[in-house]
């Protein structure tokens, strides 16, 4: 296993990234909040295919959590995460303290327009402003050639793709498919919150999405029926819907039906007990 550098301050991280670029190497960035699982590690491995060197940032970003959300109890395991990054082939981990990222007097934020407004943006005010701000700061500090994100957080991926383009940051944003547990549950750091009973109930999200994809494959095209397929699974598992939406895969605008040759996405957010989970799939199943 190659040695891995742990960078703790923005200054150290910027200097390290600059050395990589000066050496003529391509740098890939994988931004995370830690508590790493196979979903995150799939991004590291793809980073190694697209660049010479991969840096993983691990930062539980306070500005993307609402006042009633789980910032304080979000799972943290830096030692375990560093070992996983080394094993996957990352060259460095950047794990700053919040005070280093947002020092006293900090007052600059990045807001992406319409893409941030529906879905999770409507339910978590300020969330995407926090995400867009921290990701822009990472891009500016490290100047990666490529940055990898998961489709698991589909709206986030679209928001970051837009900001990289709009601000001409010169970074290629790559989205990667959702990595799932063998039974279909989308991997998530928040799955650690689930006890055995809730873990079983959490399966209703992916099952509902898969049911809807199967219906679509049989010719059901209207949003109401596809959304109902998801809701039926949530209801049966006594899981509380936050939203179920069929949207255009690029603009995230709501759709009334799936049109041939037009990529759509079905997204769900729901509360399994106190734990809010999200998942999404392409419609049709293979995307277009």
Which residues are known catalytic residues?
Answer: 40
The answer to whether residue 136 forms part of the interface with ligand AMP (CB under 6 A) is no
Residue of 29, 149, 162, 228 that binds ligand AMP (CB under 6 A): 149
Distance of CA 261 to the CA centre of its chain: 26
Q: Which one among 40, 145, 227, 228 touches ligand AMP, defined by CB under 6 A? A: 40
Question: Judged by CB under 6 A, does residue 188 bind ligand AMP?
Answer: yes
First to last CA, the chain: 39
Q: How far is the CB of 183 from ligand AMP (least distance, A)?
A: 13
Given candidates 133, 155, 189, 275, which one binds ligand AMP under the rule CB under 6 A? 189
3-class secondary structure, 60: coil
Of 133 and 258, which has the nearer Cβ to ligand AMP? Answer: 133
Does 186 bind ligand AMP (CB under 6 A)? Our answer is yes
Interface with ligand AMP, residue 33, by CB under 6 A: yes
Q: How many helices and strands (H and E) does the chain possess? A: 10, 9
Rg over alpha carbons for the chain, rounded to the nearest Å, is 19
What number of chain residues touch ligand AMP (CB under 6 A)? 17
Binding of ligand AMP at residue 201 (CB under 6 A)?
no
Judge residue 14's burial from the number of C-beta atoms within 10 Å of its C-beta, 0-12 exposed, 13-18 middle, 19 or more buried.
Answer: middle
Report how far residue 95's alpha carbon sits from residue 8's, in angstroms, rounded to the nearest whole number. 5
Stretch that binds ligand AMP, among 80-88, 103-111, 149-157, 267-275 (CB under 6 A): 149-157
**In the complex, what is the shortest distance from the CB of residue 40 to ligand AMP, in angstroms, rounded to a whole number?**
5
SS3 content of the chain, % helix, strand, coil (to 5): 45, 20, 35
| Residues β-bridged to residue 258 | none
Distance CA 78, CA 36 (A): 9
Q: Which range in 117-125, 183-191, 201-209, 247-255 contacts ligand AMP by CB under 6 A?
A: 183-191
Query: Which residue minimizes CB distance to ligand AMP?
Result: 150
DSSP category for residue 70: S
Under rule CB under 6 A, residue 81 binds ligand AMP: no
Q: How many CA atoms lie within 13 A of 36 on its CB side?
A: 27
Q: Considering only 182-190, 210-218, 251-259, 264-272, which stretch makes contact with ligand AMP by CB under 6 A? A: 182-190
**Which two three-digit tokens encode residue 263?**
């990529």
Least spacing, CB of residue 218 vs ligand AMP, in Å? 27
Binding of residue 124 to ligand AMP (CB under 6 A): no
144 binds ligand AMP (CB under 6 A): no
Please answer whether residues 267 and 241 qualify as being in contact, where contact means their C-beta atoms are separated by less than 8 angstroms: no
Q: Which of 29, 32, 159, 245 binds ligand AMP (CB under 6 A)?
A: 32
> Cα–Cα–Cα angle for 193, 269, 191, nearest 5°?
20
CB-based contacts of 256: which residues, under 8 Å, 6+ apart?
222, 223
Residue from 90, 187, 264, 283 binding ligand AMP (CB under 6 A): 187
CB 231 within 8 A of CB 244: yes
The binding site for ligand AMP (CB under 6 A) comprises: 32-33, 39-40, 42-43, 149-150, 152-153, 176, 178-179, 186-189
């Amino acid at each position: 296993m190659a040695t891995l550098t742990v960078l703790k301050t923005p200054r150290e991280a910027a200097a390290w990234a600059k050395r990589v670029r000066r050496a003529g190497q391509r740098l890939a960035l994988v931004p995370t909040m830690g508590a790493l699982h196979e979903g995150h590690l799939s991004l590291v491995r793809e980073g190694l295919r697209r660049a010479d060197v991969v840096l993983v940032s691990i930062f539980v970003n306070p500005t993307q959590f609402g006042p009633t959300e789980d910032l304080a109890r979000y799972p943290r395991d830096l030692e375990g995460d560093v070992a996983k990054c080394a094993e996957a082939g990352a060259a460095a981990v950047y794990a700053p303290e919040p005070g280093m990222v947002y020092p006293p007097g900090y007052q600059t934020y990045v807001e992406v327009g319409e893409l941030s407004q529906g879905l999770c943006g409507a339910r978590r005010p300020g969330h995407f402003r926090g995400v867009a701000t921290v990701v822009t700061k990472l891009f500016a500090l490290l100047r990666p050639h490529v940055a990898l994100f998961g489709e698991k957080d589909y709206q986030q991926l679209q928001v970051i793709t837009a900001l990289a383009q709009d601000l001409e940051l010169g970074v290629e944003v790559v989205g990667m498919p959702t990595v799932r547990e063998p039974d279909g549950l989308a991997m998530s750091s928040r799955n650690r919150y689930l006890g055995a009973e809730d873990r079983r109930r959490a399966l209703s999200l992916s099952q509902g999405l898969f049911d809807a994809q199967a219906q679509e494959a049989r010719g059901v095209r209207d949003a109401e029926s596809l959304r109902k397929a998801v809701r039926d699974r949530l209801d049966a598992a006594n899981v509380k819907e936050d939203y179920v939406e069929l949207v255009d895969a690029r603009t995230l605008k709501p759709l009334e039906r799936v049109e041939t040759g037009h990529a759509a996405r079905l997204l769900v957010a729901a509360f399994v007990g106190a734990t809010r989970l999200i998942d999404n799939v392409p419609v049709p199943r293979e995307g277009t």
